[in-house]
Structure 1
Amino acid sequence: MSRSNEVMQNSPEGAFAYAKDGHSEADMVALRAETYRAMEDAVYEGKCRAIGVSNFTVKHLEALRKTARIWPPAVNQIELHPYNPQTEIVEYCRNHGIVVEAYASLGGQDSGKKTWNKLGGKLIDRVEICDIAYKHGKS
């Protein structure tokens, strides 16, 4: 790596194969801590300026907090939209100075027709969302 402004650790649950091989939750916590430690080293070596995480819950952040040398992470990127407001993690991040970066802000990208119908339709098609966009001159 030459130099980057930010490096992010994605999805704490992303190592499903690791867990399927019989590794415990404690092993997963250690793996996340080891990955974060490598990103901290990149900061100390001047290779990046900030580190962040993605899809971390309060539980994941609290476990990370116990071993982190650089705390808090600069950002936690999470799926965030009216159908999935994630108030607990948003509040936690606010209280700990962690920027929340939303993805899929107009609804989950992988939801099928059945899910959309259950929720009341795609957000992008909802009158309320279209009214807000119109009010702000956005399409």
Structure 2
Amino acid sequence: MSAFPEQTFASGYKIPCVGLGTWKSKPGEVGAAVKSAIRIGYRHLDCALVYGNEKEIGQAIKECIDEGLVKREDLFITTKLWNTYHRAARVAEGCQESLDNLGLDYIDLYLIHWPLPLRENAGLFPLTEDGLTDVIDIDFTETWTAMQDLVDQGLCRSIGVSNFNSKQIQRLIDLGLKHPISCNQVEISPYISNEKLLQFCKSKDITVVAYSPLGSADRPWAKPDDPVLLEEPAILKIAARHKKSAGQVILRWGVQRGYIVIPKSVSEARQKQNFEIFDFTLDDEEMNVIHGMNRNFRVCVWNRAGAYHSPYYPFHEEF
């Protein structure tokens, strides 16, 4: 791997502190975005089966390797098990589908995308007759046990979870772990600082990766009166002081708090900005100003029909 700042998982593998997010990157755009990011120096790509763009990402990775820009071992690839593959017998199937899409022999980090199991063989977002998300009862401990087998089979190097709360993580720990929970990927931004969960994960030697670190203003369900993180006057003032963009300040705030950031962008200029956050430091006062913006405003609660009725819905808990 490069000399770029990294963290070390409990599994012993290293993860670059900045990655390229690919959620909401459209087919026809995401391949070019991956290639420009790799040219800039990104070596960490965050993917998921449900994003529907793994095949194009895989083709872009292949082209970069064929062109001699990188080797496979230079890259850190994350992808995620979707909710319709939670039954133990289907976990390897979900993993293999992503491997085939991406054209890879192994995944660096494989995550349970949500603790919410959904009805199988009815599309990625199955609905009940009354229009709710069609959740079923498969305990995520069953899913985790099968995830550990994937490491033994060499299909992935590190495993973890996403959108799990502290009680759900503790349940996994209490099982006795054959392989460590290397990561919890959750939403963190100045609008949802997630401080308690961040500190809990640190205490368990679980690396935290923050999705939507810039607030995902392009989310399809945004309301006109929702706050826009990149337009916060206090952040713009700090950015001007450092001659940086608002996005760079927010990402810097994140890495100084000790977590990995995966901003999504298909713009080469914006990708370059998001990558250049290690040549300045925020002082304590600036960190506190940004921290004070927390309003527990979560942009990703569950972006389809409600799943609040599931006993595994993670956000009933405070953290």
TM-score, with structure 2 as normaliser: 0.36
Question: 2:189·2:215 contact (CA, 8 Å) conserved in 1?
Answer: yes
Question: 1:74·1:99 contact (CA, 8 Å) conserved in 2?
Answer: yes
Provide the C-alpha distance between the structure 1 equivalents of 2:238 and 2:150, rounded to a whole number of angstroms.
41
Residue 17 of structure 1 aligns with an amino acid whose one-letter code is D
CA deviation digits over 1:75-98, x for unaligned, max 9? 101010111111221110010111
Q: Name the structure where helix makes up a greater proportion of residues.
A: 1
Report how many aligned residue pairs link the two structures: 125
- 1:92 equivalent to 2:195? Answer no
Question: 1:80·1:86 contact (CA, 8 Å) conserved in 2?
Answer: yes
Question: 2:116·2:135 contact (CA, 8 Å) conserved in 1?
Answer: no
Unaligned segments of structure 1, at least 5 residues: none
Shift of 1:68: 4.6
Provide the C-alpha distance between the structure 1 equivalents of 2:180 and 2:149, rounded to a whole number of angstroms.
15
Equivalent residue for 1:112?
223
CA deviation digits over 1:56-105, x for unaligned, max 9? 10111011112252354111010101111112211100101111110111
Aligned Cα root-mean-square deviation (Å): 2.2
Shift of 1:136: 5.8
Question: 1:80·1:102 contact (CA, 8 Å) conserved in 2?
Answer: yes
Residue 131 of structure 1 aligns with an amino acid whose one-letter code is K
Query: 2:189 is paired with a residue of what secondary structure?
Result: coil
Question: 1:39·1:51 contact (CA, 8 Å) conserved in 2?
Answer: yes
Question: 2:110·2:160 contact (CA, 8 Å) conserved in 1?
Answer: yes
Question: 1:107·1:122 contact (CA, 8 Å) conserved in 2?
Answer: yes
Provide the C-alpha distance between the structure 2 equivalents of 1:124 and 1:46, rounded to a whole number of angstroms.
41
1:10-25 paired onto structure 2 within 5 Å:
10-13=113-116, 15=118, 16-19=133-136, 23=137
Question: 2:189·2:214 contact (CA, 8 Å) conserved in 1?
Answer: yes
1:1-139 paired onto structure 2 within 5 Å:
1=96, 2-13=105-116, 15=118, 16-19=133-136, 23=137, 28=138, 30=139, 32-70=140-178, 72-107=180-215, 109=219, 110-114=221-225, 116=226, 121-134=227-240, 135=242, 137-138=244-245
Provide the C-alpha distance between the structure 1 equivalents of 2:176 and 2:200, rounded to a whole number of angstroms.
17
Shift of 1:128: 2.3
Provide the C-alpha distance between the structure 2 equivalents of 1:36 and 1:131, rounded to a whole number of angstroms.
45
Unaligned segments of structure 2, at least 5 residues: 1-95, 97-104, 119-132, 246-272, 274-319
Over alpha carbons, which structure has the higher Rg? 2
